[in-house]
Structure 1
Amino acid sequence: MTEEKVLRQFAESVARVFVGLRKEKGYTSYESFAFDHEFPRAQYWRVETGRHNLTLRTLTKLLIIHNLTLEEFLQRVIVESRTFNRKDA
């Protein structure tokens, strides 16, 4: 597997986790979620579409918003990655 493919798969899993977290909070729109949490809308859209190379600062802000530890977040990413990869198989 190439570095590019691993990075793309990871970014897609992270994106799906953040979409799920937003929806768990009852938001149907990334825009309203970003607005309510004073997060730049364009930046949050890039996070949810996997087009953003997350910095530790951005990830930390999002984890605080979602009241998650890094471990809890990474566990969700692992589960999402496994679930998605099974669907592709």
Structure 2
Amino acid sequence: MQFDFITTNKIFSMRKTTKKYRESLIHIGAALSSLRQMKGYTTVKEFASRYKLPVIQYWRIERGKANLTLKSLARILDIHKLSVQDFFCLMTGHELAMT
């Protein structure tokens, strides 16, 4: 009986983590969308084409629907002249890192 309890808790915990992960992807995507718009690009297609990014994949990233890797995030942030650290500082309202 205890084994079932542990299994149930692990499944619950995994679902909770998955939900938090999806929410994080949505927040990151929204921040990237804001950066794109601040750069003067009104459409994903216009921005992605200009910087030779796969349009559909970039659209999915901004919508929080893609499994974003750190490498992809760094590539996108390089376009905006931001480090990954500075990006997360901006997202969380902390001061930018001194580099």
Deviation at 1:78, TM superposition (A): 2.3
Gaps of 5+ in 1: 80-89
Deviating 4+ runs (over 3 angstroms) = none
In 2, the alpha carbon distance for the partners of 1:75 and 1:5 equals 22
* Residue 38 of structure 2 corresponds to residue 24 of structure 1: yes
Deviations 1:39-81 (A, max 9, x none): 11011001110011111221111011111011111123324xx
Overall identity of the aligned pairs, in % = 34
More contact order relative to length (CA 8 Å, sep ≥ 6): 1
TM-score (norm 2): 0.74
* Residue 87 of structure 2 corresponds to residue 64 of structure 1: no
State how many pairs are aligned: 79
Give secondary structure in 1 for the equivalent of 2:64: coil
Equivalent residue for 1:53, pick from 67, 74, 78:
67
Give RMSD over aligned pairs: 1.4
In 1, the alpha carbon distance for the partners of 2:72 and 2:84 equals 12
Gaps of 5+ in 2: 1-12, 94-99
